[in-house]
Amino acid sequence: MKRKIMFTAAILSAALLCSCSQNAPDSKQQALINEIVSDAKSVTLATEKPAEEAAAAPERETTASLKKESSEPVADYDVDIDLTEMNPTMIYATVYDIVTEPEQYLGKTLKVNGFFDTGYDESLDTRYYFVVIPDATACCLQGLEFKADGRNYPDDYPETRTDICVRGTLDKYNELGNDYYYIKTDMLVET
């Protein structure tokens, strides 16, 4: 029997050695998202603020652009993927699918609720903007990059950790030889 066990172990070891290793491509955006996710864990999520805390907090001034946006009605239309109408489990699963299979969602319109965060890459002198979406258990956060044309940071953007709603079309761009996917927004509002 020992021989059989040894034989089984040898076969399994061979299968193990045959497995191939592949590292994920180096992504500056992914590093920024990871950084945001790490930071987010150390703060109370905006959606989870205790009622007393929320009541005690002074009313924050809305940025100029957001005020402007709320006064000028944004054209409403049916989006292809409305994450604001889904439950947390489906939101997490859908965002995961968008992140892992972005080509399938390219050109589709989507609407997302989450909190705003931003990161700056000094080497590229570029700022990236994200809508970060926590899952039902608030342990797994996912970020989608978005770009809003005609806005300047920080004046035309909300404060980080502010709950926002982003609507737009999934598009892609190339940076340093890699394709990156983002939401080309036509609506960015605080919620």
Partner 1 sequence: MAEIFQKLQLYFSYPFVWYALIVGLLIALCSSLLGVTLVLKRFSYIGDGLSHVAFGAMAVAGIFGLTNNNYIVIPMTVISAILLLRTGQNAKINGDAAIAMISVGALAIGYLLMNKFPSSANISGDVCTTLFGSTSILTLRQDDVILCVVMSVIVIAAFLLFYHKIFAVTFDENFVRASGVRANVYNLVIAIITALIIVLAMNLVGSLLISALIIFPALSAMRVFRSFKSVIICSAIVSVVCAGSGIFISILSGTPVGSTIVAADIAVFLIFCIISLFIRRKA
Q: Is 34 in the site for partner 1 (CB under 8 A)?
A: yes
Candidate ranges 21-29, 118-126, 146-154, 166-174; the one touching partner 1 (CB under 8 A): 21-29
Please state, as a whole number, how many other Cβ atoms lie within 10 Å of the Cβ of residue 114: 26
The structure tokens 């592949």 sit at 22
Candidate ranges 115-123, 132-140, 154-162, 175-183; the one touching partner 1 (CB under 8 A): 132-140
Q: Is 3 in the site for partner 1 (CB under 8 A)?
A: no
Q: Distance of CA 149 to CAs 15, 116, 124, 183, 186, Å?
A: 51, 16, 19, 11, 8
Q: Is 185 in the site for partner 1 (CB under 8 A)?
A: no
Please give the structure tokens belonging to residue 66.
């957001």
Question: Cα–Cα distance between 26 and 181 in angstroms, integer?
Answer: 15
Candidate ranges 37-45, 69-77, 124-132, 157-165; the one touching partner 1 (CB under 8 A): 37-45
Peptide bond between residue 154 and the one before it cis (omega within 30 degrees of 0)? yes
Residues that bind partner 1 (CB under 8 A): 1, 4-5, 8-9, 12-13, 15-16, 18-24, 33-35, 37-38, 41, 87-90, 92-94, 96-97, 100, 135-137, 139-141
